[in-house]
Amino acid sequence: MYDIFDATEMLYKALDIPEVTNAISGELCNGGRPLNSQKEDIVVNTITITTSFKPQLATSNINIHVKDIEVGNPNTKRLKEISRIVRKVFESNQFLGKSVYISDLGILQEQEQKEHYINLRIQWRIYDTKEN
């Protein structure tokens, strides 16, 4: 059976290509973001996965962080550019033995960091069996 670490790693590997990493000023992060980062970062994480039945169901996030132009005023141009690159790469990726899709897309404000971020909510149905 797969776990949250496996799902996060599969997403991370799909996005860890120059088309994505060269599009941001910061880092592609597996699980957590560098403390107090002021750069454009992409954070990939998985919040739930079933472990007792097949197909396994999971929910992951791809969060794209971009500093505001000014406090409360999102840099929508950069948010749009980066999110479109990420969506294109994600949607062109083949996750063999799995049905993986973006179920929701939203923009959220992170007041303490003076930034906004795009949240891509990812849903998984995992049909194959993990090979150790």
User: Over the stretch 99-110, which tens digit does the pLDDT of each residue have?
Assistant: 999 999 999 998
Sheet arrangement for strand 41-49: 28-30, 41-49, 56-67, 115-126, 98-110
DSSP three-state, residue 24 = coil
Please provide residue 89's backbone torsions phi and psi, each rounded to the nearest 5 degrees. -65, -45
Q: What are the strands, taking DSSP E only, across 6-130?
A: 28-30, 41-49, 56-67, 98-110, 115-126
pTM beyond 0.85:
yes
| Domain topology for 4-126 | STM4215-like (3.30.2000)
Model confidence at 131: pLDDT above 80:
no
Residue with the two structure tokens 């003076």: 114
The pLDDT assigned to 132 comes to 66
Residues 34-69 have pLDDT tens digits of 988 999 999 999 999 999 889 999 999 999 999 999
